[in-house]
Amino acid sequence: MTRWLPALLFFVSPMAMAEDKPIERLDETAALAGLAIRVEALAEVDQYSGAFLVARHNKVLLQQAHGMADRSTQTANTVDTQFRYGSAGKMFTAVAVLQLVEAGRLSLDGTVDEYLPGYPNRDIATQVTLRQLLTHTGGTGGLDNLERDYAGDRKALRTHADYLETHSTRAPAFPPGTKVDYSNYGFVLLGAIIENVTGRNFYDVLREEVFEPAGMHATGAEPESVKLPRRAVGYYLKAGEWTDAAATLPWRGTAAGGGYSTVGDLFKFAQALQSGKLLSPEMLAQATSPQMSGNWYGFGFITVGEGPLRRYGHGGDADGMNADFRVFPESGWVLISLTNIDPPAAYRLGRWFEPRMPVDATPAKP
């Protein structure tokens, strides 16, 4: 079963996973060296296959690749390999929506009906707002038909309009705005809204308004039928064997998740966010702050922690893929891991490094 999930493991407290004795903070050199040793050990037992990058204060300190991009041809992963990122793509959708909000073309409190006139289910149409779609509080649910009969539907569902045709008569699962329930379909609605308001293809909007301004030239969402020489084959564990995950993949990624990138491109995304290239500092601060009391989600970004351990980003996991993107704005760290094997492969790095990395907020001297 393929799923575009919120990657709950992404925001499990590192201290909650501590061993018998407390984990001690290390200095920068020791933390990076320890991570390299940890990843090497994981790769040796086939628990890590992918690429990762660690940066601080806009400087890449460590990046490596391990494992095979294609086991049939013995093609090794490199730091330039393109890995599928699953639900981490929600960040890109959110940025595109928030850009339109800042341009005055969308309103966070505008309803679905304002931007998709005539949407079939009138409760969702008239009650659910963009704010609720961005925060998973609209009650719009998942993509259940894919979980029931994925192999058949993957060939038919190719556009956001296709997904709307399948799901748009469904009523909200609860009164919109009353609770958080992770909704992939809510982000598909956002993709359809982007297309309807701009009159442009969703993928063109992402490329022209998000990827190109950030310098992300290796990121996209071409259909699986398009052969990309640097895109890794995904492998999921079946009966104890690594199996090509091609049959579990959607025809193409959507606004809810899917697509591919490199660790270098995702670092450029982090830099573009922090430098104001994509969103104003005020909008970024809002997007990366919890939008409900005690919650862990902003506008398309998972956001947890306090002080130098405050971070935002997103995870993504499905059969044969795992992504982990973390930005610590106060302490300057950026941690990125992409793998072409099942979760929690990518998360293992952050689990090890985050409780050990130094968290002083003072920028390093040049």
* Structural element, H or E, at residue 194: helix 184-198
Question: Please, what sign has the CA dihedral across residues 103, 183, 308, 321?
Answer: negative
Q: Give the confidence band of 363 by pLDDT, cuts at 50, 70, 90.
A: low
Distance CA 149, CA 39 (A): 36
Is residue 172 within 8 Å of residue 138, measured between CB atoms?
Answer: yes
Please tell me the predicted confidence (pLDDT) of residue 153: 62
Mean pLDDT of the chain: 91
**% of the chain residues with pLDDT over 70:** 90
Q: In terms of DSSP H, where are the helices of 14-74?
A: 28-44
Cα gap 272→214, rounded to integer Å:
5
Q: Check: CB of residue 318 under 8 Å from CB of residue 6.
A: no
Q: What is the mean pLDDT of residues 214-218?
A: 98
Strand-strand pairing, 50-56 and 59-66:
antiparallel
- Report pLDDT for 294: 81
Which of 194-198, 218-222, 359-363 has the lowest average pLDDT?
359-363
Confidence bin at 16 (pLDDT 50/70/90): very low
d(CA 83, CA 234): 8
Number of Cα atoms under 13 Å in the Cβ half of residue 204: 5
Averaged over 262-284, what is the pLDDT?
98
Residue 197 vs residues 96, 117, 132: alpha-carbon distances, Å: 12, 11, 18
For residue 237, the model assigns a pLDDT of: 95
What are the tens digits of pLDDT across the range 220-261? 999 999 999 999 999 999 999 999 999 999 999 999 999 999
Checking if the pLDDT of 332 tops 60, the result is yes
- Are 76 and 70 in contact, with CB atoms under 8 Å apart? no
Q: CA 5 to CA 265: how far, in whole Å?
A: 22
pLDDT of residue 144: 59
Per-residue model confidence as pLDDT tens digits over 160-191: 999 999 899 999 999 999 999 999 999 999 99
The reported pLDDT for the residue numbered 4 is 44
d(CA 337, CA 328): 15
Q: What is the DSSP letter of 14?
A: G
Q: Six-digit token pair at 166?
A: 């399948």
- Are the CB atoms for 328 and 337 separated by under 8 Å? no
> What does the pLDDT average to over 179-205?
97
Per-residue pLDDT of 107-120, as tens digits, reads: 999 999 999 999 99
Q: What is the pLDDT of residues 289-311, one digit of tens each?
A: 999 888 899 999 999 999 999 99
CA distance 70 to 279: 37
Q: Quick one: CATH architecture of 8-353? A: 3-Layer(aba) Sandwich (3.40)
**What is the reported pLDDT for 362?**
58
Cis status, amide bond into 344, omega within 30 of 0: yes
pLDDT at 142: 87
Rounded-to-integer distance, Cα 207 and Cα 44, Å: 37
Over residues 123-159, the pLDDT tens digits come to 999 999 999 999 999 999 988 544 434 455 666 889 9
Give the pLDDT confidence score for residue 360 in this predicted structure. Answer: 85
- Judge contact between 352 and 52, C-beta under 8 A: no
Question: How far apart (Å, rounded) are the C-alpha atoms in residues 319 and 226?
Answer: 20
pLDDT tier at 22, thresholds 50, 70, 90: confident
